């Protein structure tokens, strides 16, 4: 595939690029082709080109919630870098390529509240919308007014209801051929100093749990709704482990001895059973082995399946 000639300053095409540098795990083999652009029209044209060539492609954001195969990706990795953030009254519109932290900081500096609890969650705005990122009882879905995206044929917009948000889910997860370009968030006036203090408080907590230098993708498994658990299991869960109707996966992982488990260069922390990290020499295959072992233990001990938050890219 040849790079069309134009003036897009962010357009970049590279071959055989190792993907570890694009993931929080710092793991991943090479992609046949990596193409980046901040131009929505160019991005749409690239998708069409991939389809015309019958080339496999994957849209990658900041790689905060993905595990890339040691073998890399036999196809085209596309990255949309459009990152403009602008205010319109009580609303803020952000490009999908902007970091979520940049959106949080922008809204706080503008004296607009509603996103401060998302402070220090790694990843892009597009990825946060895609997976309905959230923390401390709130999610990005609460503030999303509309999302602009490319469905493979044309650019469309969906309002909040059309995005079908639920816990760590959205309609975009079920349509992996759709690409988010931007989103608009409806916020509320607030005191910038107070909003910043709340964000700083959350940042401190998150940095203690997930140190910025730690090579990890955050929590690996989704939490579970108490009402969805087998009755016998639900009856076994102590009230102290239930928050807002959900039970942390870490509770069940602790019961099966997850803490400090290790496979090669991949380890689970001693203080949080749902936090898998790369000690520096880890491989994607080792992460997958550890995940599969944990799922097996949960299934055998409790009789249900835990579901990963992370996305797998490439061949496993």
Domain ranges in the chain are 12-80, 85-195, 214-313
Q: What per-residue confidence (pLDDT) applies to 161? A: 98
**How deeply is 205 buried, as exposed, middle or buried, from its count of CB atoms within 10 A (0-12, 13-18, 19+)?**
middle
Pairing of strands 311-313, 66-68: parallel
> Residue-wise over 228-252: b if at least 16 C-beta within 10 A, else e?
ebeeebeeebeeeeeeeebbbbbbb
* Residue range 214-313, CATH number: 3.90.78.10
- Catalytic option among 142, 254, 308, 309: 309
Q: Please choose, from the candidates 102, 100, 101, the residue with its C-alpha nearest in 3D space to the C-alpha of residue 124.
A: 100
Give 36's strand partners. 12, 79
CATH fold for domain 85-195: 3.30.465
Q: Please choose, from the candidates 77, 50, 48, the residue with its C-alpha nearest in 3D space to the C-alpha of residue 153.
A: 48
Helices 100-109, 192-209: inter-axial angle, 10-degree rounding: 150
Is 168 assigned a catalytic role? Answer: yes
Q: Domain 12-80: which CATH class?
A: alpha beta
Round the CA-based radius of gyration of the chain to a whole number and report it. Answer: 20
Please tell me whether residue 6 adopts helix, strand or coil conformation. coil
Q: What per-residue confidence (pLDDT) applies to 187? A: 98
**How deeply is 219 buried, as exposed, middle or buried, from its count of CB atoms within 10 A (0-12, 13-18, 19+)?**
buried
Q: How far is CA 37 from the centre of its chain?
A: 20
pTM over the 0.85 mark: yes
- Catalytic option among 168, 206, 283, 297: 168
- Catalytic option among 38, 99, 182, 219: 219
Question: pLDDT 10s digit of each residue in the chain, 316 long?
Answer: 444 444 566 799 999 999 999 999 999 999 999 999 999 999 999 999 999 999 999 999 999 999 999 999 999 999 999 999 999 999 999 999 999 999 999 999 999 999 999 999 999 999 999 999 998 889 999 999 999 999 999 999 999 999 999 999 999 999 988 999 999 999 999 999 999 999 999 999 999 988 989 999 989 999 999 999 999 999 999 999 999 899 999 999 999 999 999 999 999 999 999 999 999 999 999 999 999 999 999 999 999 999 999 999 999 9
Is 49 assigned a catalytic role? Answer: no
Give 77's strand partners. 34, 58
């Amino acid at each position: 595939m040849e790079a069309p000639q134009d003036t897009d300053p962010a357009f970049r095409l590279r071959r055989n690029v190792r993907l570890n540098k694009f993931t929080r795990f710092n793991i991943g083999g090479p992609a046949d082709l990596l193409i980046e652009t901040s131009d929505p029209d160019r991005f749409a044209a690239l998708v069409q080109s991939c389809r015309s060539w019958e080339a496999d492609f994957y849209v990658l954001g900041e790689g905060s919630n993905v595990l890339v195969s040691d073998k890399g990706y036999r196809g085209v990795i596309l990255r949309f870098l459009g990152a403009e953030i602008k205010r319109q009254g009580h609303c803020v519109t952000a490009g999908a390529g902007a970091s979520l932290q940049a959106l949080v900081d922008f809204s706080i500096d503008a004296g607009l509240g509603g996103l401060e609890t998302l402070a220090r969650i790694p990843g892009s705005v597009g990825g946060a919308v895609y997976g309905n990122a959230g923390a401390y009882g709130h999610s990005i879905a609460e503030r999303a007014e509309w999302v602009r995206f490319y469905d493979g044929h044309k650019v469309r917009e969906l309002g909040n209801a059309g995005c079908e948000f639920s816990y760590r889910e959205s309609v975009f997860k079920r349509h992996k051929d759709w690409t988010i370009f931007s989103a608009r968030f409806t916020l509320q006036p607030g005191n910038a100093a107070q909003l910043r203090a709340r964000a700083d408080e959350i940042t401190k907590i998150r940095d203690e749990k997930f140190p910025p230098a730690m090579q990890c993708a955050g929590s690996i498994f989704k939490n579970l709704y108490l009402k969805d658990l087998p009755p016998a299991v639900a009856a076994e869960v102590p009230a102290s482990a239930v928050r807002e109707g959900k039970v942390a996966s870490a509770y069940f992982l602790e019961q099966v001895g997850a803490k400090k488990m290790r496979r090669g260069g991949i380890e689970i922390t001693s203080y949080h059973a749902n936090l898998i990290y790369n000690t520096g020499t880890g491989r994607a295959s080792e992460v997958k082995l550890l995940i599969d072992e944990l799922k097996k233990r949960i299934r055998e001990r409790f009789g249900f399946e835990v579901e990963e938050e992370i996305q797998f890219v490439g061949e496993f």
